[in-house]
């Protein structure tokens, strides 16, 4: 197996990123949490030109030092409010959990959870995960990488901003140990199709559920048949505007003959984000791939 493609030094200043900087001001309890807890739970990262989601070239994290111990590492990308990572870390004290997030209020909330639940096996970092995976996180250092409900970027002209595409899959391959697992979930069929396509095309991964849940059992077939994503309540609707239609983007529109969908991962508790999607009647697609 070829090693993952060499990652260029500074690709991140010139590419569209998967996030927009919004609401980074902290108030009230979250501001206090940041001030009190960052020293213990937030990793100190040298930056490029002060950009607060960047990583200075050449910086490599000493993971054992960051956790004050050596243990298998799980990385959650886009950890939001920290619901999933805190729950998993509570149930699994023998593994280290690293939450990567660009959204400051989410990180503050995550640190509050870590502190309230007295967890010693979680660290957070305010960083563009793609940039961290290119150098800051050492090669083959993680046993699992999770990317749950990445921002869907519905409009076709915004698809280039989606996190899970070829370059990101290469970067995840770089940080995962051979045999390590990449877990993903999304509530949007067009993104689910994109995730499955890029991972199937990557020589670094094999689908742990290849061919499973195809045809009538596929959530994709069910979404296509129900049309749930094309009606109000499926996609975000702004007042006075038509609903965003995500359309059918699979190669087998109508019936998904490929399948490959994982069962719901036990370690992924429903976050408030997922609950909103389920309340809106959308389906959730899980994928799990093993690093070769
Ligand atoms: C839709 S939210 C889902 C949050 C969480 N996974 C959940 O299920 O509740 C996606 C999150 O990914 C974060 N995000 C987007 N791009 C990122 C990146 N390149 N690096 C780190 N976090 C990112 C966003 O700030 C946002 O909090």
- Supply the DSSP string of 183-221, one letter for each residue: EEEES-HHHHHHHHHHHHH-TTEEETTTT-S-GGG-HHH
Summarised one tens digit per residue, pLDDT across range 260-273 is 999 999 999 999 99
- Determine the Cα–Cα distance for residues 220 and 147; give it in Å rounded to an integer: 19
Ligand 1 centroid from CA 173, angstroms: 19
Each of the 292 residues of the chain gets a pLDDT tens digit; together they read 444 544 445 556 667 888 887 667 899 999 999 999 999 999 999 999 778 899 999 999 999 999 999 999 999 999 999 999 999 999 999 999 999 999 999 999 999 999 999 999 999 999 999 999 999 999 999 999 999 999 998 878 888 999 999 999 999 999 999 999 999 999 988 899 999 999 999 999 999 999 999 999 999 998 888 777 765 344 544 445 444 445 544 444 688 999 999 999 999 999 999 998 888 888 999 999 999 9
The domain made up of 28-211+261-291 has a fold known as: Rossmann fold (3.40.50)
Tell me what the pLDDT averaged over the chain comes to.
Answer: 88
pTM value is 0.91
Helices marked H in 49-118 — which ranges? 63-67, 83-91, 104-116
155 is in an annotated binding site: yes
249 CB contacts (<8 Å, ≥6 apart)? 189, 190, 193, 194
Is this prediction's ipTM beyond 0.90?
A: yes
Helix or strand holding residue 182 (H, E): strand 176-186
152 Cβ inside 6 Å of ligand 1 = no
Ligand 1 centroid from CA 73, angstroms: 19
Candidates 40, 62, 151, 200; catalytic one: 151
103 Cβ inside 6 Å of ligand 1 = yes
Phi, psi of 53 (to 5 degrees): -115, 5
- Determine the Cα–Cα distance for residues 208 and 191; give it in Å rounded to an integer: 19
- Is 64 a catalytic site residue? no
Q: Say what the alpha-carbon torsion angle 134, 20, 183, 121 is, to the nearest 10 degrees.
A: 80
Summarised one tens digit per residue, pLDDT across range 40-67 is 999 999 999 778 899 999 999 999 999 9
Tokens 């009538």 sit on residue? 216
- Determine the Cα–Cα distance for residues 82 and 112; give it in Å rounded to an integer: 9
Ligand 1 centroid from CA 78, angstroms: 3
Domain residue limits, the chain: 28-211+261-291
Q: Is there a contact between 120 and 95 (Cβ–Cβ < 8 Å)?
A: no
| Residue in 74, 82, 102, 286 to alter for ligand 1 test, most ligand atoms within 8 A of Cβ | 102
pLDDT at 143: 98
| Residue in 19, 23, 51, 78 to alter for ligand 1 test, most ligand atoms within 8 A of Cβ | 78
Helices marked H in the chain — which ranges? 28-41, 63-67, 83-91, 104-116, 129-131, 166-175, 189-201, 219-226, 272-279
Q: Compute the half-sphere exposure of residue 168: CA atoms within 13 Å on the CB side of its CA.
A: 24
Q: Which two tokens stand for residue 234?
A: 């499926």
pLDDT at 243: 45
Of 188, 187, 193, nearest to 251 by C-alpha is: 193
């Amino acid at each position: 197996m070829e090693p993952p493609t060499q990652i260029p030094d500074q690709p991140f200043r010139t590419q569209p990123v998967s996030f927009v900087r919004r609401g980074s001001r902290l108030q009230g309890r979250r501001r206090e949490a940041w001030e009190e807890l960052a020293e213990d739970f937030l990793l100190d990262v040298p930056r490029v030109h002060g950009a607060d989601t960047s990583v200075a070239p050449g910086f490599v994290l000493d993971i054992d030092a960051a956790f004050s111990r050596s243990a298998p590492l799980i990385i959650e990308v886009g950890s939001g409010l920290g619901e999933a990572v805190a729950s998993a870390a509570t149930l699994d004290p023998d593994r280290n959990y690293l939450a990567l997030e660009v959204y400051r209020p989410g990180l503050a909330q995550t640190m509050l959870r870590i502190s309230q639940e007295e967890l010693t096996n979680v660290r957070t970092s305010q960083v563009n995960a793609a940039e961290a995976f290119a150098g800051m996180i050492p090669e083959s250092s993680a046993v699992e990488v999770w990317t749950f409900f990445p921002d869907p970027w519905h409009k076709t002209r915004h698809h280039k901003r989606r996190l899970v595409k070829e370059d990101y899959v290469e970067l995840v391959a770089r940080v995962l140990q051979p045999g390590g697992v990449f877990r993903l979930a999304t509530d949007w069929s067009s993104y689910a199709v994109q995730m499955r396509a890029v991972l199937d095309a990557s020589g670094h991964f094999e689908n742990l559920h290849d061919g499973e849940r195809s045809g009538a059992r596929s959530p994709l077939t069910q979404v296509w048949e129900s049309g749930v994503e094309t009606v109000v309540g499926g996609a975000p609707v702004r007042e006075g505007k038509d609903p965003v239609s995500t359309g059918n983007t699979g190669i087998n529109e109508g019936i998904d003959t490929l399948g490959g969908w994982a069962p719901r991962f036990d370690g992924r508790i429903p976050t408030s984000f997922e609950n909103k999607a389920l309340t809106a009647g959308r389906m959730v697609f899980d994928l799990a791939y093993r690093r070769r």
